[in-house]
A and B are shown apart, each in its own frame.
Chain A
Amino acid sequence: MALGTMSAQITDFANRADPYPLYAALRKSPVTRQDDGTYLVSTYYEVRSLANDPRLSNDLRNRAPGAGGPAVAEEDTNLPPSFLFHDPPEHDRLRNTTMRPFGPPHSPRFLHDMRDDIAEIITGLLDALEGKDEVDVVEDFAYPLPVTAICRILGVPREDEPRFHGWADTVASGLDPSQGKEKAQEARRELGAYLSDLIEAKRRHPGSGILGSLAQETGSNGSMSTAELVSTSMLLLIAGHETTVNLIGNATLTLLRHPDILKRFQTEPGLVVPLVEEVLRYEPPVQFIPFTAALSDIDIAGTTIPKGAQVWLLLASANRDPKRFEDPDRFDPDREDNQHLGFYTGIHYCFGAPLARMEAQLALPLLFRRIKNPRLTADPPPYRANPVLRGPHHLPVAIDGLAA
């Protein structure tokens, strides 16, 4: 289906490197109706309000037929949707069950206990750069780190990664509203089959990682079905592949574009905590949420979004709203009260946020301590096709070797 004018521009690859002027134009009116009946929401307070509004549904079955807007890959396969595409109560049941082995209150130390492992992965990746004078920060670092980490966290064998790498990319492309869904659905089926076999094996031999614990939760008295666990693990695996890579890639790119801040960061590694938050505001890895639907008419900012309409929440635009952030186009790690929407807000707030923060906070200081005199060799770098999960495809950086 053809997209509305502005949505087509946002998804247009030509605008991938710098979508921010489009967002600025959109913010002239907080809520904009597209010709296809989709509503784009671009301002901070309106995005935040709608993300927390129980009249908006993430359940794809709630979109009115013919209301316009693209399909999403999670429809029309024999697998149930993951919790991202469910509303409560199913959403809460699935998400809470998944949280049990991953975080508080049941597993408050799980992530903390992964820290040393993740630091070790980072050191290994950096050591491998020895002898190079040009590195691809995405290919060599930002991609393999979260992939190795999510495999370890889930308990997915790292050696299978080449098999599901392509599937994960293709399934994620299903989030791109401008793309067809057939390939994504096929990849979803294949990745699903792989994960089903893995979960079956985990039921007998749980091993380490949360899939082993969750496999024990499935079954007749369990809190999720096997098919639901397959969908859930696919969501986590893909999120682990497609989001943190952009956080680290965007952070590296932004730092190289701001030499003063980079210089300060190299002598002040503690700056990484507010710096990562500012990257999440300034260049969020998830740019917008294109799949929510209104369950009833919603009056907002002088507009009525009608029941059944599809609503896009433009997180990256909200993060640059001058009504909320002073001088929003300035990258400023010292920004106070930086309540960005980079991890979304409300019940669908990023499940992996604490993991993403930990990875980025460990990775960036080590990266910039080790690589000597880094320079961007392509600005803008080549971007990934995906407009939702946005980030550089490659990030070539010239260096003067590696510090010990």
Chain B
Amino acid sequence: MSADADVQALRRKGRIVVVGASLAGLRAAETLRDLGFTGSLTLIGDEPYEPYDRPPLSKQVLLGMEPAEDTALPRKRDIDAEWRLGAAAASLDRAAEHVRLVNGDAVPYDRLLITTGTKARPWLHPEEAALDGVFVLRTRDDSARLSRKLAAGPRRVLVIGAGFTGSEIASVCRERDVEVTVAERAPAPLVGALGEVVAAAAARLQRDHGVDLRCGVSVTALEGDQAGRLRRAHLSDGSAIDVDVAVVSLGAIRNTEWLAGSGLAAGPRGVACDAGCRVFDVNGIVTDDIYAAGDVARSPHPLFGYQFLSLEHWGNAVEQAQVAAHNMVSTGPDRRPHLWVPMFWSVQFGVNIKSVGVPTMGDQLVIAQGALAEGRFVAVYGYRGRVIAAASFDSGKWLGFYQQQIETGASFPPDYAMVDRRTDALQPVDPAFPDPHLPTHEPTVTLTGHSPTERGVQFTAPRA
């Protein structure tokens, strides 16, 4: 049978299983139906809820403006799917072509889409994480619980880690008139995403709004009272703070544990796939029936040196899901690449922060418009003489222009006259990202086997 006929049959009566029932999974399912897929569609989700929107969870819901249960994602169409909610996928058997759920059920597939996303990185010490008053923020339930706690008027909240989520939580605390301390290991908030130069503006923003921001320190221990309630946090500089709430916001880990042993190139950094969302196996050979999209996927991007990027961005989840869905029911020449230019936004302390491109690749930076000191600016990042990214504070409407500059490989620095340019000669500076040579906790791979038929690759767990 030809590939065309296979795909025609698949479109008519194939079985597509989507593991991960959030933004990417839902949008993929809708796209499949839009494309005329009439076979069976199963959505598997570990949470008991239908797909909901996460950005409000650290903003409106936490502020008490909107109940957590009102965050359900709007549906673009009826998807006529079988929902397996509240039963997480436990494993994948590629030989048998089925997904095994935690309750033991096997769900067979002809095409599989992995959209399992990420979860909050938990606090390092489980017994401390179990204290009453220690939170993470990722899910609807997390947000509802934390919102209730903030409404009860805690004496002081400790936010551990000043990435975007941590900074937004601190912002909500101040808006609710709750005292908050932010402990960040780096020299400023958002350093990992935007570099120290821009992060200095984020630090000022926090302090101007009454956040007790402590940088260059880490939290060494959370201490509870006899009833198991959080009462104090100890910091690496030897100090201690009395707190009754701590929110652990140390970033996300990708939900790939269930794929251990599946033979797919899946690990803590995500599920590796090609630009068409087809997942690689551990040998680096692309599969043809398994796809990935959203936060959990890592794929090569031609604009950024074909680096494998994994993007925890709302817009990326939508676009990649649509590309994956399209490719799942298309033959070779009709398949499309996922060429989304990374873009994300945050709102904190009344300021809209937006970024386009990949700032972390930047080796130089100029403030092209506005001024850091005014907290209203566009920072443009260059990489080897080309524009690679831009980040804005309260100037987001210009980023479409910089996106075009990135897409066309425009030269850096942008040395032409434009509105709100403050200095005639732009002095590029080092954006000051953290040293990439620090050891990580990631696993390595080892080559195994000797003869060409048994030669392969094996994941090696990280050494503790």
Contact = CB atoms under 8 A, between A and B. Distances in A.
Given A89-B420, A105-B350, A295-B419, A52 B398 contact: yes
Contacts of A57: 419
Interface stretch (B161-169, B244-252, B369-377, B444-452): B369-377
Given A54-B369, A54-B398, A89 B376 contact: yes
Contacts of A56: 419
Contacts of B421: 54
Contacts of A87: 419-420
A295 B397 contact: no
A59 B417 CA distance: 14
Contacts of A59: 419
A88 B395 CA distance: 10
A92 B228 CA distance: 51
A27 B404 CA distance: 22
B195 to A, nearest CB: 22
Contact of A52 (B368, B401, B420): B401
Nearest to B371: A89
A346 B370 contact: no
Interface in B221-244: none
Interface in B324-356: 350
B350 A296 contact: no
Nearest to A297: B416
A55 B410 CA distance: 14
B417 A55 contact: yes
A105 B398 CA distance: 20
Interface residues of A, number: 20
B417 A296 contact: yes
A88 B369 contact: yes
A54 B367 CA distance: 14
Interface in A93-107: 105
A96 to B, nearest CB: 9
A295 B418 contact: yes
B398 A89 contact: no
A203 interface: no
A297 B397 CA distance: 21
Most B C-beta atoms less than 10 A away, residue of A59, A89, A105, A349: A89
Secondary structure type dominating chain A contacts = loop
Contacts of A161: none
B420 A295 contact: no
Interface in A275-298: 295-297
Given A57-B419, A295-B419, A307-B417, A89 B370 contact: yes
Contacts of A53: 401, 418
B419 A54 contact: yes
Given A57-B419, A89-B420, A307-B417, A52 B376 contact: no
B401 A88 contact: no
Given A52-B397, A105-B350, A296 B370 contact: no
A88 B394 CA distance: 11
Most A C-beta atoms less than 10 A away, residue of B376, B395, B397: B397
Contact of A55 (B350, B376, B418): B418
A398 interface: no
Contacts of B416: 55, 295-297
A347 B376 CA distance: 14
B400 A52 contact: yes
Contacts of B368: 54
Interface in A283-341: 295-297, 307
Nearest to B369: A54
B275 to A, nearest CB: 24
A54 B370 contact: no
A49 interface: yes
Interface string A332-366: 00000000000000110100000000000000000
A49 B407 CA distance: 13
Contacts of B418: 53-55, 295-296
Contacts of A105: 350
Nearest to A92: B376
A366 to B, nearest CB: 28
Contacts of A89: 370, 374, 376, 420
Nearest to A108: B65
Contacts of A297: 416
Nearest to B350: A105
B376 A49 contact: no
Interface string A66-98: 000000000000000000000111001000000
Interface string B267-284: 000000000000000000
Interface in A24-65: 49, 52-57, 59
A273 to B, nearest CB: 15
Interface in B385-428: 394-395, 397-398, 400-401, 404, 416-421
Nearest to A96: B394
A49 B420 CA distance: 18
Nearest to A106: B350
Nearest to A90: B420
Given A55-B416, A296-B417, A296-B418, 12 more contacts: A49-B401, A52-B397, A54-B401, A55-B418, A55-B419, A88-B370, A88-B395, A89-B374, A89-B376, A105-B350, A296-B416, A347-B398
6 cross-chain pairs, A with B, having the tightest CB-CB distances, nearest first: A54-B418, A87-B419, A296-B416, A88-B420, A295-B417, A296-B417
Interface of B: 350, 368-370, 374, 376, 394-395, 397-398, 400-401, 404, 416-421
26 contacts: A52-B401, A54-B369, A54-B418, A54-B421, A55-B417, A56-B419, A57-B419, A87-B419, A87-B420, A88-B369, A88-B395, A88-B419, A88-B420, A89-B370, A92-B394, A92-B395, A105-B350, A295-B416, A296-B416, A296-B417, A296-B418, A297-B416, A307-B417, A346-B397, A347-B397, A347-B398
